[in-house]
Amino acid sequence: MQLYHHPYSLDSQKVRLALEEKNIDYTSYHVNPITGKNMDTSFFRMNPRAKLPVLKNGAHIIFNTIEIIQYIERISVVSSGADDMNLSSREVVQWMHKIQQWDPKFFTLDRIPEKYRLYTSKFIRRVVIARMAESPDLASAYHRKLREAYEIEDKLKNPEVLKWSKEHLVRLLDEVETKLNDTAYLAGEEFTMADVMLIPVFSRLKLLDLEDEYISCRPNIAEYWVLMQQRPSYKMVIGNYFDGWRKYKTLLKTWCFVRIRSMLRRY
- Whether the per-residue pLDDT at 104 is higher than 90: the answer is yes
- Tell me the pTM: 0.94
Bridge partners, 55 (sequence order): 3, 62
Coil/strand/helix, residue 26: coil
Three-state DSSP state, 63:
coil
pLDDT in tens, 135-188: 999 999 999 999 999 999 999 999 999 999 999 999 999 999 999 999 999 999
For 188-220, how does the pLDDT look when each residue is reduced to its tens digit (9 = 90+)?
999 999 999 999 999 999 999 999 999 999 999
Q: Is the pLDDT score of 126 beyond 80? A: yes
Q: What's the pLDDT score for residue 227?
A: 97
Tell me if 193 sits within 8 A of 66, measured CB to CB.
no
User: Nearest Cα to 267, choosing from 259, 115, 141, 42?
Assistant: 259
Phi/psi at 244 (5° precision): 60, -135
Task: Give the pLDDT band of residue 88 (cuts 50, 70, 90).
Answer: confident
Has residue 87 got a pLDDT over 90?
no
Looking only at the bridges linking them, the beta strands covering 27-30 and 2-5 are parallel
Write down the domain spans for the chain.
2-264
Q: For residues 212 and 104, what is the distance between their CA atoms, to the nearest angstrom?
A: 18
Structure confidence at residue 250 as a pLDDT band (50, 70, 90): confident
pLDDT of residue 83: 65
**What is the Cα–Cα distance from 142 to 145, expressed in whole angstroms?**
5
Architecture of the domain whose range is 2-264: Up-down Bundle (1.20)
Is the pLDDT confidence value at 84 over 70?
A: no
pLDDT band at 85 (very low <50, low <70, confident <90, very high): low
